[in-house]
Amino acid sequence: MTEVRKEAPQRFLTTKEAAFVVGICKRTLEKHRTYGTGPKYRKIGGRVLYDIDDLRAWTEIGARVSTTDPIDDFIRPAKRHAALAPRYAGRK
């Protein structure tokens, strides 16, 4: 009897693959990771890996239907101060 093995779908992506999926540069994704403004990641065996569901959730933060939509939450720029800077309430 022949045993048929089905490959499990790849669930985790490398930084390069994740950056391609999201549509940003690899270096930008690395900066987001460093500054704490990026998607969740895992470090497995010394490699940084991203779950595709976490990438989707992170990109949904910036989803808008119209420019007049209220900005409750947004993806901050990949800058050191972005993770620490307070929101400017009442800014016009």
Give mean pLDDT, residues 64-73: 75
Run of H or E including 49: strand 47-51
In this prediction, residue 61 carries a pLDDT of 85
Give mean pLDDT, residues 41-49: 95
Name the band, by pLDDT with cuts 50, 70 and 90, for residue 81.
Answer: low
Give yes or no for residue 86 having a pLDDT over 80. no
What CATH class has 10-62? mainly alpha
Task: Round to whole Å and give the CA distance between 68 and 79.
Answer: 25
Ramachandran angles phi, psi of 62, nearest 5°: -90, 5
Run of H or E including 13: strand 12-13
Q: pLDDT digit string (tens) for 8-24?
A: 666 899 999 999 999 99
- 39 vs 86, which has greater pLDDT? 39
Domain boundaries, the chain: 10-62
